[in-house]
Structure 1
Amino acid sequence: MKQYSSLLTSLFLLLTFFVKGQTPQDSLDIKQVALDYIESQHNLKPEQFERAAHPRMVKRTFWTNKKTKKEYLRETFTDAMVLLAETYNQNGDKFPENPKKEVVILDIFKKTASVKLIADDWIDYMHIVKLNGKWQIVNVLWQFNDSKQH
């Protein structure tokens, strides 16, 4: 009976992987995409960002107009993020010595994933898609830990 139960459990787990379509390697690749996104800024490596992001990626946050005090959506695109990765931490003072970079995979379904990246001063929620065998970020919604900074 114990062998039968173990066999059924194994079969169930195997079928779960086939139904959802992702593999343990997909989880590793998705995590690496999120790390490439943040580490490109830590290490001034724009090529690392380009590897992580789809060319049509859009990054959004809410911002407050200083004069009117009205909030609005602010957008950034892949090309601006590549430039940011080249220059943002040029003096090595934008991040702590051991920066926080916690990646939480919220969900994976076949060729799409939702990820939360917890950094030192902000949180990024990412949508990541697998196109032509490669996982890439297509959407980012972020905010500072202290929303008054927006």
Structure 2
Amino acid sequence: PHAISLVDQRGILSAERDDMDELMLRNPWKYRLALQTNGGGRSGELADALRGADVLLAASRPDPHAISAEAIRTMADDPIVFALANPVPEIWPEVARRAGAAVVATGRSDFPNQVNNSLIFPGVFRGVLDARARSIDDEIVLAAARELAARAHDR
């Protein structure tokens, strides 16, 4: 987790951020994430977090200009970009690809690159019911993800 940088509306989460006391009281979950991530001690905005990054996993406000092509160009070679905001992704897939992204996915069901949790729910629940499991743990979710991945094909 130390190699992961998380960003919110105020910038990169880190233990050194000015609002840590406020986070501890108002959002303990985010406070713990700030302590467990960003081992590199990065500070700044989204663009700073993306510089040299291999993967962008965005789940923010629907705005195709929330992430710029320039920010994608500053990422590592052949980055992976998941722009999951709905109904409009944070960057259009074709813009991310032109900027150098090797893999681009969105949450849009009308795009061919859809990544959506609805793809996995039926199989997970069928497996849970068949196994008479009392809870859904990480092992079950990983097994479902592996099965889904095994059925994917290149286009």
Shorter-chain TM-score: what band? under 0.3
Relative to the length of structure 1, the TM-score reads: 0.24
Relative to the length of structure 2, the TM-score reads: 0.23
Highest RCO, 1 vs 2 (Cα 8 Å, sep ≥ 6): 1
